[in-house]
Structure 1
Amino acid sequence: MTSDRGALKEHFLKRLKYDPAKGRQEFFDPPLYGQGTFGVRVNKKSIAYILCYSFHGKSRRLTLGSYPKMSLADARAKSRHAAQLVEQGVDPGKKKTLELFEYRTSPSVADAVDTYLQWAKTSKKSWKEDERMLKKDFVKSIGDMKLQDVKRRQILALLDDKAKTAPVAANRLQAVVRALFNFCVERDIIEATPLVKMKKIAKETPRERALNKHEIVWFLKRLASPTITVSTRFALLLSLMLAQRSGTIAAMRWVDLDFDQGIWDRSGSFEKNNNPIAIPLSAPVRKILEHLHLLQAVKHKKRGNIEEPSPWVLPGRDRTLHQTQPSLNRAMRRFYDTYVANSELVKSEGLLRIAEGYPRPTAHDLRRTATTHMSGRGLGKDVRGRILNHANLSVDAIYDRYAYFDEKATALNDWHAYLLDLFKEAFGHKNWIKVYGQEAPQVNKSKAKPAEIEPNAPRTIMVGGREVVLSEPKIS
């Protein structure tokens, strides 16, 4: 029915109620030529704005929205837009159906993350860390939302909440989410990113944490904790001994080790800054690596050679994967928290600085600790830069991975001797292997097969394509 009151007014809509006796009712504005007839429909469940129009000689009806969720002014504007589409030869009803179909088939946040990670696996070294952050902190919160519905305020709320307990992690998450949306814009999955000109959520201050002599003793003692695995212990110890990034230590491969020459030779593809580097392997480091290989060889034999030997020096729980930096940080956090919880022990030993300005040590702090102490023992800037493998775009740095090799070897040998003195201070005259390693299981001679390794016989392993002779597991 057409209203005889002229155009619909807001006060009229407020008085509208469903009358069971009359059933569904419709009220319209006076019809306008070329713009259809705007009105409202009142039924048992809702009041809806409608537009009646003609398209190619056929009557059409379009639902514009519901009252009072949509204002009368917005509904009229939407009606005028629909009339303009009719003039352009577009059926607004069909257009709405198409848009609704596109919306329903548009990707959710979780779908977009999966698509991004498929690309990242072949394009980014850090894709596993991207996956961890996106799945844990982003998908878990708004994974079911349509990607195109995600607003700037929702992302800010998520990041602000993260920054309350982990400000640096909030910045890292923000960077990954930004990369996700930029990827989706480039692939025409969405039209724009909600992170345009979004500043960093938290202010970052560079870490300056380096362990002093007493704290190194504390660290060496805590490494013996039974709560961490042998692989994790040696990953942390080697991070301190070699002054390399803990993530790089965790991803050490047997194929990159040359025991004959005493070199850990890494190609640029495995480095954060793509600089190649050769790290000298001191005698203590080689003994640790030989012991780790021997343990893996014995375990492999016990499995009946069903599985392929692990290519990693420091495998994780899944032998096909290596340790990760987050797992090393979790180990550091665990034995730090356990230690500081025992206030009497902390007070009696007096080894660890626990006060404002001394945050909990992380795995990366071991690298800073090593270079700080080596510098204090006379290590020059040039050699230190070569050991740390900091970015250097000179021709010499790019092509000569063996530059300053002898100087690096001398500095590391001196540092390892110093560490061994501190180790003896903590554990007496024991060695690294006896404290942190585990003795290789003895083979029962009566049941040993001819091909099995006798417990006291010399052992050989293949490392980096070379045969290396190993002594017994108890390495001094």
Structure 2
Amino acid sequence: MKLTAASVDKLQPTDKRQEIPDALCTGLYFVVQPTGKKGWQVRYRHSGTHRRMTLGAYPVLSLADARQRARDALAAASEGRDPAEEVRAAKAPKPEDDRDKIKVLIGQYHKRHLASLKSGAVVRRELDRFVVAEWGERDIHSINKRDVIDLLDDIADSGRFVTANRVRAYLNKFLNWAVERDIIPMSPATGVKPVAKEPSRDRVLTDDEIRWFWTACEAEGFPWGPLGKVLLLTGQRLNEAAQITDSEIRGDLWHLSADRTKNGRVHDVPLSGAVRDVLAGVDRIAGKPGFIFTTTGTTPVSGFYKARATLADAMQKAAAEDRGEPVEIPRWTFHDLRRTAATGMARLGIPVRVTEAVLNHVSGTGGGIVGVYQRHNYAEEKRAALDAWASYVTQLVEGKPGNVVRIGGR
């Protein structure tokens, strides 16, 4: 029948479902349910199969609009498409947009900013370790100031106050970067203060603690045992030592290129016999980078916080066995091993300028006009200093302290 606006409106329900075709639009049907509900339906063929698609309810969808929708659906079917499936796909819930997720944005932050910085790898590692681990799947717009405070408090509550302050600084810069790129209107870290005031550290291991530390390194084994010994004997920075490669070892010299040092200066570290023995005792894990301290062959060791705690526990056991009773050892950090080596060389009569050359310091006596015009590299002096320090540590470990000046009061 030829459907009109008036005839459609007058059609009454019966005890059976009614499907009235429209003579002016082949494939369009007006459906009247026994319940009185009325609606539009279009029929078409797709891949040789008869299909039906509901267009909408009447009177929400008028006759004129129903005819237009039916014609659109039939046109799509004539092109080999399935209009019903297209409608279902359009209504299906879309996967969450990942663009503003924290883990995605930190990846972009690394690519566009951190990758060009000498400290970029360290910052990315800490952001992954704490921020991505906690918020990685969250949308950056859902992060508020309280979230930032809770994150930092959790780190501080584990005893890592300095780490909490570092993460705060790294997170602050990341969020400010997001503001600059118009991702968020304001940083949720604005006004968040450092978790704790960081006291200047002056911790130096005593003679007994050096012995106990060495015993702990022996007990722990690879990788933290050998790495701990290298840190103590050379006084070098943790990341620089952890990332040492076989290609950097040139006989009895460890050569660090400018891109491997914190201050961007080429640095040569003479290797004492004790250090060479430690490195020779490390079983290598094959890998293209040639890392000495690696468990994968592709990346250097990480997880320094847990490693320090493991060595500290082993030190406690060594001290208890040595003294025959529990001994309370003040907390130390890997950086304190560097300070211990510097202090030890000073006690052995090594000039400050030579010690600074060993540590690759550019401040102090090596700064200013001296640093500009004094080009002597102290190669022989550095070797003598590190040999003397290694001899000192070896005699402590072997229980022969009589021939050396003791460090500390114990």
Equivalents in 2 of 1:236, 1:342: separation in Å?
16
Of the three residues 313, 316, 325, the one matched with 1:337 is: 313
Of the three residues 207, 212, 216, the one matched with 1:213 is: 207
| Residue 152 of structure 2 corresponds to residue 162 of structure 1 | no
- The structure-2 alpha-carbon separation of the partners of 1:115 and 1:291, relative to structure 1 and needing over 3 Å to count, comes to same
2:273 alignment partner in structure 1: 283
* Match runs of 1:218-367 below 5 Å: 218-225=212-219, 227-229=220-222, 231-259=223-251, 262-292=252-282, 295-296=283-284, 308=287, 310-312=289-291, 314-324=292-302, 326-327=303-304, 329-340=305-316, 345=321, 347-348=323-324, 353-354=328-329, 358-359=330-331, 361-367=332-338
SS at match of 1:278: strand
| Residue 335 of structure 2 corresponds to residue 372 of structure 1 | no
Counterpart amino acid of residue 264 in structure 2 = N
CA contact (8 A) 1:210 1:365 kept: yes
Number of aligned positions between the proteins? 302
Equivalents in 2 of 1:278, 1:399: separation in Å?
19
Q: Show structure 2 runs of 5+ residues with no match.
A: 1-93, 401-410
Equivalents in 2 of 1:152, 1:239: separation in Å?
39
2:179 alignment partner in structure 1: 185
TM-score, length basis structure 1? 0.57
SS at match of 2:269: strand
Counterpart amino acid of residue 335 in structure 1 = L
Equivalents in 1 of 2:154, 2:307: separation in Å?
25
Superposed displacement of residue 215, structure 1:
0.9
CA contact (8 A) 2:102 2:138 kept: yes
2:358 alignment partner in structure 1: 387
CA contact (8 A) 2:213 2:311 kept: no
Equivalents in 2 of 1:163, 1:119: separation in Å?
30
Counterpart amino acid of residue 375 in structure 1 = A
Superposed displacement of residue 252, structure 1:
1.3
Superposed displacement of residue 423, structure 1:
2.4
Equivalents in 2 of 1:339, 1:280: separation in Å?
28
- The structure-2 alpha-carbon separation of the partners of 1:370 and 1:182, relative to structure 1 and needing over 3 Å to count, comes to same
CA contact (8 A) 2:244 2:293 kept: no
| Residue 115 of structure 2 corresponds to residue 122 of structure 1 | yes
Superposed displacement of residue 395, structure 1:
6.9
* Match runs of 1:99-110 below 5 Å: 107-110=100-103
Percent identity of paired positions between Structure 1 and Structure 2: 27
Superposed displacement of residue 370, structure 1:
0.9
Q: Deviations for 1:49-107, whole angstroms, at most 9, x for unmatched residues?
A: xxxxxxxxxxxxxxxxxxxxxxxxxxxxxxxxxxxxxxxxxxxxxxxxxxxx9x96761
Which of the two has higher C-alpha Rg? 2
Equivalents in 2 of 1:353, 1:399: separation in Å?
48
CA contact (8 A) 1:185 1:191 kept: yes
Equivalents in 2 of 1:164, 1:386: separation in Å?
38
Superposed displacement of residue 253, structure 1:
2.1
- The structure-2 alpha-carbon separation of the partners of 1:143 and 1:200, relative to structure 1 and needing over 3 Å to count, comes to same
- The structure-2 alpha-carbon separation of the partners of 1:339 and 1:212, relative to structure 1 and needing over 3 Å to count, comes to closer
1:453 alignment partner in structure 2: none
2:399 alignment partner in structure 1: 425
SS at match of 2:262: coil
Equivalents in 2 of 1:417, 1:343: separation in Å?
22
Equivalents in 2 of 1:223, 1:106: separation in Å?
45
CA contact (8 A) 2:165 2:194 kept: yes
CA contact (8 A) 2:115 2:121 kept: no
SS at match of 1:223: helix
TM-score, length basis structure 2? 0.65
Q: Show structure 1 runs of 5+ residues with no match.
A: 1-100, 301-307, 427-476
CA contact (8 A) 2:316 2:328 kept: no
- The structure-2 alpha-carbon separation of the partners of 1:419 and 1:105, relative to structure 1 and needing over 3 Å to count, comes to closer
* Match runs of 1:88-103 below 5 Å: none
2:382 alignment partner in structure 1: 408
